[in-house]
Amino acid sequence: MPARRRQGTNVNSTVEPYVLNIGPQHPSTHGVFRVRVVMDGEVIRDLDMIVGYLHRSMEKLAEERTYTQNIPFTDRADYLAAMSGNLGLALGIERLAGVEVPERASYLRVIFAELQRIASHAMANGTLVSDAGAWQTPLLYMFREREKILDLFEMTCGARLTTNYMRAGGVSFEPPPEFWPALKELVAELPGRIDEYMELLADNEIFLGRTRGIGVITPEDAINGSLVGPALRGSGVPWDLRKAEPYCVYDRFDFDVPVGIRGDVYDRFMCRMMETRESVRILQQAIAQIPAGPHKNDIPLALRPPVGEVYSRVEGPRGEVGFYLVSDGGPAPYRFHLRAPSLINLSLLRELARGASLPDAVVTLGSIDIVVGEIDR
């Protein structure tokens, strides 16, 4: 920012840019993400986003491992939505290698992906409200549901966060018998919990004042910026891969896609909230419909897909998780690329935050809902 002359004085004074270094260690950057902000009082004039503190060279490492060995990487990319990452990669491998999936496995995938969506949205909305200044209370309440979902994951595959659950050709384990009653209990109590949060936050004057009209993204901007997920739907574009190109068995369920009307932080928040409700609806239907049968087809351990390439995408909690796989006929992918929704959603932050005040920028960043593991890979 160039030095400028202060208006209204005849003193030849220059004003130094007031540079604020937010992160990599900061309460509201949600991980090791750094923003260098040039401020004018409380107003942000310009900002640089600096990423890469969590870079683990995932895509290059993936070229040295077999397809099945690559699935754990997707746990660690978006570590708040491991199931969705698993699902996207598993679908990609299946399409590349032409592997069939049993029907029960598809239903299990839907159940776990939707549970993961609820858990991830709980985390996203909780941290957003924390960013808006509610001293962690909504966050901890939402963690209560997330805990139960993670318990379900642990029951099934032994891990809570890095689940490594989906496989090409199905899922790795059949859920244990105690899983189903616990899941039903959770699904039964979730609508009441969501009502509770709506009661606490949806009409809260302070929360409305902090989020209404802040960080507005128009539909045109959202599409030009390649936004995906709640950030796209919050700005009014009715786009959901589960409806647009249904994968697994999503075409068998009856659910709606909430779409924001103003494209501000509040709309993104409410979209997540209402999507949680829709996920509960999907879960209820999936539990009712799930057929018996095997949970996976046996496939060779070192899968050698034919030469070719595939781009598979699923609707994760943060939006379209895409996997671009190129096979040269060997046991490991020739090229492995992850289209991370967080990174692309984040790219709009600079435009949103310029001219906004610092608290608004923090809330906007919270509403975009980034996961640094996915951005840096």
Partner 1 sequence: MESPGIILAFFALSGLTATSALLVLVARNLMHALVFLVVSFLGMAGLFLTLSADFIAVAQILIYAGSISVLMVFAVMLTPLASRNNGSTLYVIPALLAAGGLSNIIGFIAIDTDWDERKGEVLAQSDFTTTVAGIGDLLLGKYILAFEVASVLLLFALLGAIVLVQERRRAGEEA
Partner 2 sequence: MSEQPMRPATPMLQQIAEHHSLLQRFMGVSKEWKGFVFLLLAGFGLANLAIAYVVVDGRLDGHWYDIRDLGNAVAGLRGWMQDEGFHPAVPYVTTALLGALGILSVVGGWLLIGSWVERRVLAKFQIRQGPNRTGPFGLLQPIADAVKLMQKEVVIPRAADHFLYYAPPVIIFIPALLGWGPVPWAERMSFLDLNVGVLYTIAISSLGVLGVFLAGWSSNNHYSLLGAMRTVAMMVSYEIPISIALLAVVLLTGSMQLSTIVAWQANYNAWLILLLPFAAFTFLFASTAEINRTPNDIGEAESEIVAGFYTEYSGMKAGLFMGVELGNAILVGAMMSTFFLGGYTLFGLETWIPGYLILTTKIGLVYFLFVWLRGTLPRFRLDQLMGYAWKFLIPLSIAQVMLVAIEASIFARWDVPAIFPLVAFALVNLGLTVEMVRRWARALGYAPEIMAQQPVMATTIGGLKAAQKMRGG
Site residues for partner 1, 15-74, by CB under 8 A, read 15
2 counts as binding partner 1 under rule CB under 8 A: no
Q: For residues 183-201, b (16+ Cβ closer than 10 Å) or e, as one string?
A: beebbeebeebbeebeeeb
- How far apart CA 314 and CA 229 sit, in angstroms, is 10
Which residue's CB is nearer to partner 1, number 11 or number 301?
11
Q: What is the size of the binding site for partner 2 (CB under 8 A)?
A: 75
Neighbours of 173 (CB within 10 A): 16
225 counts as binding partner 2 under rule CB under 8 A: no
Half-sphere exposure (CA, 13 Å, Cβ side) for 3?
5
Tokens 């574009």 correspond to 237
What does 189 interact with, of partner 1, partner 2, none (CB < 5 to 8 A by kind)? partner 2
Interface with partner 2 (CB under 8 A), residue from 187, 231, 344, 349: 187
Which residues in 140-179 contact partner 2 (CB under 8 A)?
Answer: 140-141, 144
Distance of closest approach, residue 41 Cβ to partner 1, in angstroms: 11
> Is residue 156 helix, strand or coil?
helix
Distance of closest approach, residue 112 Cβ to partner 2, in angstroms: 17
What does 206 interact with, of partner 1, partner 2, none (CB < 5 to 8 A by kind)? partner 2
- How far apart CA 76 and CA 376 sit, in angstroms, is 11
32 counts as binding partner 2 under rule CB under 8 A: no
Which residues in 36-95 contact partner 2 (CB under 8 A)?
Answer: 39, 41-42
300 counts as binding partner 2 under rule CB under 8 A: no
Tokens 């005849």 correspond to 10
Interface with partner 1 (CB under 8 A), residue from 2, 3, 7, 288: 7
Distance of closest approach, residue 157 Cβ to partner 2, in angstroms: 22
192 counts as binding partner 1 under rule CB under 8 A: no
The sign one gets for the Cα dihedral 268, 274, 279, 285 is negative
Residues with Cβ within 8 Å of 245's Cβ and at least 6 positions away in sequence, in order, are none
Neighbours of 308 (CB within 10 A): 14
Cβ 93 vs Cβ 67: under 8 Å? yes
167 phi/psi in degrees, rounded to 5:
-130, 160
- How far apart CA 258 and CA 272 sit, in angstroms, is 8
Cβ 230 vs Cβ 369: under 8 Å? yes
Interface with partner 2 (CB under 8 A), residue from 45, 65, 160, 262: 262
What does 8 interact with, of partner 2, partner 1, none (CB < 5 to 8 A by kind)? partner 1
Amino acid at 266: Y
Which residues in 265-324 contact partner 1 (CB under 8 A)?
Answer: none
Which residue's CB is nearer to partner 2, number 204 or number 347?
204
Distance of closest approach, residue 34 Cβ to partner 2, in angstroms: 14
Strand pairing of 308-316 and 319-327?
antiparallel
Interface with partner 2 (CB under 8 A), residue from 77, 157, 166, 274: 274
Neighbours of 310 (CB within 10 A): 18
What does 243 interact with, of partner 2, partner 1, none (CB < 5 to 8 A by kind)? partner 2
Which residue's CB is nearer to partner 2, number 28 or number 70?
28
123 counts as binding partner 2 under rule CB under 8 A: no
- How far apart CA 194 and CA 202 sit, in angstroms, is 11
What does 302 interact with, of partner 2, partner 1, none (CB < 5 to 8 A by kind)? none
Q: Summarize as ranges the residues that interact with partner 1 (CB under 8 A).
A: 7-8, 11, 13-15
